[in-house]
Structures are given as structure tokens and as C-alpha cells.
Amino acid sequence: MSKLFNNFVGNLKNDLLSGLTVALALVPEAVAFAFVAGIDPMVGLYGAFMMGLITSLFGGRPGMISGATGAMAVVMVHMIAVGNEVGNELAQPIENLGLQWLFITLLIVGAIQISAGLFKLGKFVRLIPHPVMMGFVNGLAIVIFLAQLGLFPQISEMGMFEQNTTFWDDLFANTAFWTMSAFVLLTMAIMFFLPKLTKAIPSALVAIVVVAAITISLGIDVDTVGSFLKSKGGADATLEGSLPTFQYQIFSLIETIKGNWMLILGSAVTLAAVGLIESLMTLNLVDDLTETRGSGNRECVAQGAGNMINGLFGGMGGCAMIGQSIINVNSGGRGRLSGVVASVALLLFILFGAPVIEQIPIAALVGVMFMVVIGTFAWSSFRIINKVPVSDIIVLISVSAITVIADLAIAVVTGVIMSALIFAWNSAKRIRARKSFKEDGTKVYEIWGPLFFGSVTDFNNKFDPKSDPDMIEIDFIESRVQDHSGIEALRGVANKYLDLGKKIKLTHLSPECKELLMRNNPEFDTIIESSIEDPRYHIATDLMDAEV
């Protein structure tokens, strides 16, 4: 109880101020991601509020921020579009049916994520190699940086990445672009120098307030949160709204899905996987930043609960946000109160503060995110290029590139698979067989190294049944049979000697290994020698699949 209480009041001032800072940074991203998914921006804001509140109260990592994210928004696009098409084709058309399908899907997403937590799958984040983690943060830093460029309307309108020979001439003559750039640099300068003077107030919050005060008091014409919202949603678009309401209608609309259940289930599985991967990776990163340990399994349950609440009350859903989490941590937010304040402040912006928040310059928020990019990118990855194996560098660069080109879930899974294959290849080359003879003429093979699917071929090549003497001993005191492939390889070698009428003895096998070998070869009981020195470990295989 005292630990829970300390999570809310132990860092009161910093948590309050950092939470407010995060809330300001959440607004444009929640709105932007809602537009990416093709839904009303208020749904994105509701999603950020509910995800942030639930995960802050019950998640596995105090100080981590959750909300609507681009990674999940991209997955939603196709399903929402199909739902809208189905709704328009009904005898009695249903407007925004795709959004209703999203709410239904979020209920399934929540159930999957809660199940992952209950079955303790969150611990598998520990299996993510360091090169994958570095590639993840580097790729994500690049993605955040590129996303901020889109908030420079001058760049997006003039086509920076198109074949436009007049782009640079137009850019140099565009005072609005340079005005915004100046305020971005001012924001970054405040965030860089203020902590050197005092850390009593979050530098990001000070920067936002100072830049907003300058532009408002001097009447400088710059893009604001309000103008950004109107540019995306039309002249009537506003942050002003009401409390989220219970979406009772989704239960009567389940029948509209009919032949699209595979689309709904496929989207749910993908959303759940993307959400968990991003959340657990962010948790791991915040653990490193704060030098504390969060609970991955608890975070899975909280993420699932947050998405289910979103489905029931009309939010977009989401997962952990690495950018806002870093803003929170760097601003001094450490307890659960920081996330709660960010979520509640976001709701208060919607209910009461829309006119004020809409006047905040986009430049201030872009400057904050640029500083997040600088803090997120693993600059040490450049220093270690000549100090780590080439394979690790390849994994790091691949994960970074895939994060930018595709999405972080695919990048992380690809990186883990690449690392696993590299590890398997390196381990496969470590199998050795020391050969010696006893006084009675028995030839002894002392196996060293892991016996698993990758080393089976080399293991088989160590033996010469036809040329070997009549008595053979294979000693596993310095080896370990790790999987079903290893069991089958050992069984195959033993049978080759037995078929030639030669005597063979297997020593220092684990009890489980002995059981698997004898399950369909009872005669192996006579060739397996037991000893008090026999190791005890389990083999990664399904015992029911052990065959001759």
C-alpha cells in the first residue's frame, strides 16, 4: 500500500508538470493518427485519454505513456474502409460502419492482450537482442523525425520529395517556413539550456509556454493546433467535445460483419501484436532510462483492458508511445500520477480548454519532438560499428530500415528471427567430438557443445560406424541435447552401430533424454548408462512427438 501511495505522491511536483507537458504533446499526434485511420479526430483524442488513464493506473511501468499510435492506425485503415463500404451497400445504409467495426475489433484485441498477460507472455521481451533494441530506437527516432516534417505545411505543400526544380527557390522565399523554423529552434534551445540552469520545471513545458506567449502576445501568424486541426478536418473542426459515451449500438451491429469475420479477426491479431510489441519495447527502453524494472505481463493486461474500454466507449485504441514516454521521463515524470495527469488534462482540454490549446503553435510541439528524436536515437551505434560482430551491425541496420519502411512490429520480429538464425548458425559450429581409446579397446567420443537442429549434420559426421571398433562409448558430460532433432540424431547414430552388431554405450544423458530415447526403443535401456553425475535439464520438444 505504501509503495502504491508513493507512486502517486512521491514525486508530486514533477509528475504534475511532466503530465501537463505530455498532454500538450499528445494533442496533435492523437489528431493526426485519427486522420491516418480515416476516423473523426475526437475518436483519437478519446482513445489517447482512455488508454493513458487505464495503463497509468494499472500498467506495469510507472511513468510510461500510452495513447493512440501511428503503428496501430495504419493497421486499422483497410478494415475501416471495408466496413464503410459494407455500410453504404446495405439496404438501410449505416454511416461510419467501419468505425463501429473498429470498436468491435478492439474488444477482441483487448481479450488477446489480456490473455497474453495472464499466460505470462510478456517475459519474452527479454529475448529481444540488444542490436534489435538499438535498431528499434534508431528507426523509431527517424520515423518521429519524418513525421514532424509533415507538420511544416510549406514542405508538404511544395513537395520536398517530388521532382520539383523550383522547390528550393520557393522555400527560401517562404517567410512562414522560416518563421516556424525559428520558433522550432527557440524551443529546442530552451530545452537544451534550461536544464543546465535549473531542473525545477520541465524544460519542454517552459519552451511550449514561452513560444506560445511570444506568438500570441505579438500576434505572429504561425500554424497552431487549431489551424492544423482545421487543415485536416475542415473549417468546423475543433478540439471541443464531451465525455466519451457507452457504444451500446456495436452489439446490434455484429451481424453486419457476416462474411468479414476473417478480416476482423486478422486485424485484431495484428493490432494486438503490434500494440504489445511496441508497448513492451517501450517498457524495456524506459526501464533502461530509469534504471528500474517494470512488469511486462502486467502491462499486457493493462493494454488489453485499455483497448477493451476504448471499444466500449468509442476510443481509437492504442498502445505505449515511446516519444511521449521519453518526454515524460526527461521532464521528471516517474510515478503513475504523471500518466494520470496527462490523460485527465487531455480530457479537460476537450471539455473546457479547447480555445486555449488551439492557440499553441505547432512549432513548439515540433521542437519538443525534435529533442525527443535527439534523445531517442542511439548515437552510440556509430561508435560500436568497428567493435561488434558484423552480424550485429547488419541486424541493427536492418531493423532500423524496416521500422522506417514498413512498421516496428515487422522490424522487431525480423530482427529477432535474424538474431536467432545467426545464433543457431554460430552454435551449430561449436559441436565437437574428442576421440580416445580405453584400455579394453573401447573407442570413446566425448561430445562437446549443444546438440540441436542446427548441429545435427556436423554431429552425424563425427562418427564412422563401419570403421569403428566393436565397442563404442558416447559421453555427453560436456554436451547437452537441446531439442527433438538432437534426440533423433542420437537415436539414429545409436541404431547404426546396433545394426552393425556393435556394442554402444551412452553416458551422462539427462533423465528426460533417456526417457525420450527409450520411449519407442525399449532396447536402449541396455545401452544407456546411468550415473549420479548425469545432468538434469529439460529438452525443448513435445514428448508425444518422439518417434523412432
> Domain locations in the chain?
10-168+235-358, 393-427, 429-545
Nearest Cα to Cα of residue 328 among 145, 140, 65:
65
Please give the model's pTM, rounded to 2 decimal places: 0.79
Nearest Cα to Cα of residue 276 among 109, 129, 135:
109
**pLDDT band for position 127 (cuts 50, 70, 90):** confident
Q: Cα–Cα distance between 392 and 413 in angstroms, integer?
A: 15
CB 79 within 8 A of CB 98: yes
Q: Cα–Cα distance between 183 and 185 in angstroms, integer?
A: 5
Tell me the β-bridge partners of 445: 435, 474
Task: Please give the share of the chain, as a percent, with pLDDT higher than 70.
Answer: 93
H helix or E strand, kind and range, residue 475: strand 471-481
pLDDT for 434-492, tens place per residue?
999 999 999 999 999 999 999 999 999 999 999 999 999 999 989 988 888 999 999 99
H helix or E strand, kind and range, residue 492: helix 484-499
CB atoms closer than 10 angstroms to residue 114: 19
Nearest Cα to Cα of residue 74 among 35, 26, 25:
35
**Considering only 16-30, 155-169, 253-267, 458-472, which range has the smallest mean pLDDT?**
155-169
Q: Domain spanning 429-545: which superfamily?
A: STAS domain (3.30.750.24)
> Given a cut of 80, is residue 333 above it in pLDDT?
yes
Q: Cα–Cα distance between 221 and 214 in angstroms, integer?
A: 11
How far is Cα of residue 186 from the mean position of the Cα atoms in its chain?
Answer: 32
What average pLDDT does this structure show over 21-31? 90
CB 123 within 8 A of CB 295: no
Q: Cα–Cα distance between 445 and 506 in angstroms, integer?
A: 10
pLDDT at residue 94, rounded to an integer:
93
pLDDT for 71-95, tens place per residue?
898 889 999 999 999 999 998 999 9
**Considering only 112-116, 136-140, 504-508, which range has the smallest mean pLDDT?**
136-140
Looking at residue 220, its amino acid is I
Q: Cα–Cα distance between 514 and 525 in angstroms, integer?
A: 8
